[in-house]
Amino acid sequence: MTNEHVDTDVCLVLLKDIIARWPKANDEDIETYRVALGSYLADSFEDVDLHNRIEAVASISSIERTNEGVQIDFYDVDECLQRAAFESLRESEWRLKSLKFQCPVCFGEGVNDGDECDMCGGTDWGAS
């Protein structure tokens, strides 16, 4: 098994562990989750991502090693496409950098009616 496969496998297991602890539909206290998930999160993780409610990983759309780390696109149980980005602190030690939903306005295109998407700010993921 190559290092790339080991990295993606480790991040997939880590993603499932994180989602099991992720804030659910009626949870309001983001600070509690920030503390509870702290060891899983990169220093650059933005707390706004904790407002993205995900019950569980339903299926994996893609998983790949990138120059920045590992990126996993997956569908949640509500059939929303999500993207988890992991960065490596050191060999085989990964942290969640971001967890965003695919923009429901531009559907990952960054453009809506010929202009930069107002919802995601042209990033394709999350809300700006």
Was domain 3-116 assigned CATH 3.40.1000? no
Q: What is the pLDDT of residues 22-34, one digit of tens each?
A: 988 776 788 888 8
CB 112 within 8 A of CB 118: yes
What is the pTM assigned to this prediction? 0.87
Residue 97 has pLDDT above 80, yes or no: yes
pLDDT band at 108 (very low <50, low <70, confident <90, very high): confident
